Structure 1
């Protein structure tokens, strides 16, 4: 998963953030917003459907041992997806995925016996567990098979593909992202389908892409196209994938933060071609020096934060102001006043983990230039990654890039070719800035240069799924049941995910798309870095949730 790593959120950083003060009137003296009710759906216990409870099935030592072996077997297959992978069948680096499919078939025999399995684009897996009532919209659960590469195995405490269990954790690449979910989902259905009396009324589908770590075009993109052709638009009751902002507890309130939307994504590339020459007689600035000026200009002008009224972040904070008003009294006052600008500033000042849920991020991630130490570079490439907040757009990010380089291309007399043949960008520019940029060509050096701007990986911010209605009530009610604790209140509330998931390809299949990994330890698991691991207690908790999620949706009548 392209992960947000925001598994605090505000509720989980008590005593850490030194937040600014915004007034000291008593909280009780401020009238709450009329839209700040944050009423909770009933706890939804699936008991009564005749199936064993999650605790009865998964709380024993033998069940725990079985899950350890299952997750280990799946992690031990190095199903790595690389950014430069060639076609399946031509690039041998795809071969481990065929091994993974064999492991899945052996590990989950009942799923493979009773579900229909389709191979989409060779390596994508789509399981269908057919229900008896075609009037009920199906539910789709997702995970991905692939993992990110390991940079240096010698830096790991345990070899990354041995899946060592130390009595508490399983260590290895993919243990958390996302083979934890893959294993738990299949294990839940293995348990359900091993019960001969279970015949689902609702159809359930399991979609497992194989290149999520490379934006999912080959896997989820092709699976989604297949589903849209087979079922049509708005044909699913709900879709659940990995992600979300985790679980955080304040006193006796546990906040569960599934992402009901995710930010957009665009990579902007700046390709500079200039004349080269011998380094003994250098220009005042080589191509790398000019690109360095662009980097400085971009980083000196970050995007501005903004809070969308009654959007997911605002909704989460209103819930927190209701159920934990004293945790952050200054923030509660801002929420109760409806001071959106003040809230946004508070989130920025609280740190990076909260800043980027209200702000478009900009990260300079790639710079390539030069091929010989005594030759000035003729081609230099800069790549900048943007995660686009809902108040902005991809075209706005593109236009900002053009504005930032304007003075630099004038300074060096460069030609600019911005986003050629991009109709969306051209339409945006025509609406906000119809004037043509003037190139003064004031440089004393003729660089004979051209700066070409282009984009890759464009995804707009996703639609915001509702946090009300039948589907949400089943989802949230299941969360309240699965994570219930003595003398405590469980509050599920939607949030924004700063990273991206395979759900970007499934937009339009359902209005109810949720991104949530039901593991309270998810943020601790070293995802995408050295010593990735998963706590077995958290994995069992995930399994119990998926098992009850399926039962509750199967019993729902909408």
Structure 2
């Protein structure tokens, strides 16, 4: 995930304006840039205690620390090779986690309806009094990534040590921070006898998001679609986004309004082996290495979509922080999309891959014995697909790029057998490129291409309209900024979340982890941690979010 904190942490395009020492840009008219802000939305009209009243005390802080610690101490790891639920004993910590949640949030479990979906998926429904109002769905996931080596951590990863500022542990930030804050917000609301929601709220907590969510969210979403129907939710909120970034005199809050697509392509090469003392010019590993070189030598083209989330974000920045990046502001003023794209690509990998399909050779396996040429070699390449590309393009590109190598070594290609477009992929082998002077050697080999984990680039949620105004107005209220303006604007996520399974339930799908320190939290690596101040702010946001949506009339 691409994220950035506020306090001087550089991120997407965040940097204090004072670093530049530039004179005012007299040629720039900020108001010409699109980026009207909705009003700040304070939920105090409902008569409930404010978020600050409830969650700013020492006792409230201590309570949240205990809640988050209890949940982090359960090692609810999802492994890529997990068997079926109920058959693989490595699922057992999830049962313990459910017990901890019930003990920690007794009012939620008393007043909400809880359903277990595919045994471990948790679906809570808080019924509203007005059935004419569309429900709102809040999401988080129960599972965490594995720990590679506990000895490399400062504190044991499942002790949830609190050092006075941070809680340390695997999953404390991704995503048990959100899970705890969402349930804590509803524990507070449901504990108040004066609060009877008008709108229904649904909480969906999958248990295998780190493995693409097919067992968890992938089972919960169809149930909701059958129960409520298409476009039946006013809004859906999950983890994610690009965080909060201070630029000049503005604080940019960047929820993900869309995600890039995702596809893994595997290249499985079977060739004749033999004794290593009389090798072929290239072993199977050598051929696969040549494939990697060919793929990496031809990256996908970057492209900025006009009036897409990235372009709109930059227009907001040109309007409210025009002097932070003068060259960029001038490019935006000239509507120079190609120039803006080049600027983003040169800026950093973070900005580059917002506008470009990424390609990463992540898995390679081959060879059994040091004196025997490998007969089977496997390559796995991960792609995150930009909106101007498609999964089919990525698959076709892989076939096209390896065509010369396939011919050079006399390989039989079996691309994507079982795919609907099988014949088209085979046709993609035809190339005008000639095999270079090296004589073709018949390796009696077969190269099988297959795919795994497909998801298309998601639809782009609107950043206007009634639902956005409530969401963005809540952001502006919760993250009130002393130094200037709070600017909520959508962005594209390079990573993927469980929301891929909920497409069609609402046009308003947002991915936003409301923790300004999230970028600093070491998610998916050694010493994952979360600042308690950030967790409290998350809790305040969810509490305000629910109240504001409950008061909305659409």
Q: What is the TM-score when the length of structure 2 is the normalising length?
A: 0.95
Q: Is the 8 A contact 2:250 2:483 kept in 1?
A: no
**In the alignment, structure 1 residue 397 sits paired with structure 2 residue 399:** no
Distance (Å, rounded) in 1 between the aligned partners of 2:524 and 2:423:
37
Match of 2:469 in 1: 473
**CA shift for structure 1 position 37:** 2.4
Match of 2:488 in 1: 492
Distance (Å, rounded) in 2 between the aligned partners of 1:89 and 1:484:
47
**CA shift for structure 1 position 364:** 0.6
**In the alignment, structure 1 residue 510 sits paired with structure 2 residue 506:** yes
Match of 1:547 among 538, 543, 550: 543
Q: Is the 8 A contact 1:365 1:385 kept in 2?
A: yes
**CA shift for structure 1 position 414:** 1.0
Q: Is the 8 A contact 2:72 2:170 kept in 1?
A: yes
Match of 1:365 among 358, 362, 366: 362
Match of 1:44 among 41, 45, 54: 41
Match of 1:454 among 426, 450, 455: 450
1:362 counterpart SS class: strand
**CA shift for structure 1 position 409:** 1.1
Q: Is the 8 A contact 2:15 2:246 kept in 1?
A: no
Deviates most, 402-411 or 466-475: 402-411
Structure 2, unmatched stretches of 5+, are: none
Match of 1:528 in 2: 524
Match of 1:311 in 2: 308
Question: Residues 201-350 of structure 1: matches in 2 within 5 Å?
Answer: 201-350=198-347
Question: Residues 124-273 of structure 1: matches in 2 within 5 Å?
Answer: 124-273=121-270
Match of 1:21 in 2: none
Distance (Å, rounded) in 1 between the aligned partners of 2:234 and 2:399:
42
Distance (Å, rounded) in 2 between the aligned partners of 1:174 and 1:307:
34
2:361 counterpart SS class: strand
> What is the RMSD of the two structures over their aligned residues, measured on CA atoms?
2.1
Match of 1:463 in 2: 459
**In the alignment, structure 1 residue 352 sits paired with structure 2 residue 354:** no
**CA shift for structure 1 position 13:** 3.7
Q: Deviations over 1:487-507 (max 9, x none)?
A: 421000000000000000000
**CA shift for structure 1 position 483:** 0.2
**CA shift for structure 1 position 410:** 1.4
Distance (Å, rounded) in 1 between the aligned partners of 2:491 and 2:485:
18
Change (3 A) 1:191 1:33: closer
Match of 1:12 in 2: 14
**CA shift for structure 1 position 439:** 9.5
Change (3 A) 1:395 1:437: farther
Change (3 A) 1:389 1:519: same
Q: Is the 8 A contact 1:389 1:461 kept in 2?
A: yes
Change (3 A) 1:301 1:132: same
Q: Is the 8 A contact 1:209 1:216 kept in 2?
A: yes
**CA shift for structure 1 position 420:** 1.9
1:372 counterpart SS class: coil
Deviates most, 492-501 or 421-430: 421-430
1:347 counterpart SS class: helix
**CA shift for structure 1 position 415:** 1.4
Match of 2:418 in 1: 421
Q: Deviations over 1:184-237 (max 9, x none)?
A: 000000000000110000000000000000000000000001100101110000
Distance (Å, rounded) in 2 between the aligned partners of 1:368 and 1:13:
42
Change (3 A) 1:32 1:223: same
Distance (Å, rounded) in 1 between the aligned partners of 2:229 and 2:132:
14
Change (3 A) 1:424 1:43: farther
Distance (Å, rounded) in 2 between the aligned partners of 1:429 and 1:41:
52
Distance (Å, rounded) in 2 between the aligned partners of 1:40 and 1:161:
42
Q: Is the 8 A contact 1:220 1:502 kept in 2?
A: yes
**CA shift for structure 1 position 28:** 3.6
Q: Deviations over 1:34-93 (max 9, x none)?
A: 6x3200000000002010000000000000000000000000000000000001111000
**In the alignment, structure 1 residue 388 sits paired with structure 2 residue 385:** yes
**CA shift for structure 1 position 437:** 8.2
Q: Deviations over 1:311-361 (max 9, x none)?
A: 000000000000000000000001111001100100010010111000000
Match of 2:70 among 70, 73, 76: 73
Distance (Å, rounded) in 2 between the aligned partners of 1:501 and 1:83:
16
Match of 2:119 in 1: 122
Change (3 A) 1:169 1:58: same
Distance (Å, rounded) in 1 between the aligned partners of 2:19 and 2:344:
10
Q: Is the 8 A contact 1:399 1:429 kept in 2?
A: no
Q: What is the TM-score when the length of structure 1 is the normalising length?
A: 0.95
Structure 1, unmatched stretches of 5+, are: 19-23
Match of 2:91 in 1: 94
Match of 1:83 in 2: 80
**In the alignment, structure 1 residue 537 sits paired with structure 2 residue 533:** yes
**CA shift for structure 1 position 438:** 9.1
**CA shift for structure 1 position 33:** 9.1
Change (3 A) 1:203 1:424: farther
Distance (Å, rounded) in 1 between the aligned partners of 2:367 and 2:472:
54
**In the alignment, structure 1 residue 556 sits paired with structure 2 residue 546:** no
1:47 counterpart SS class: helix
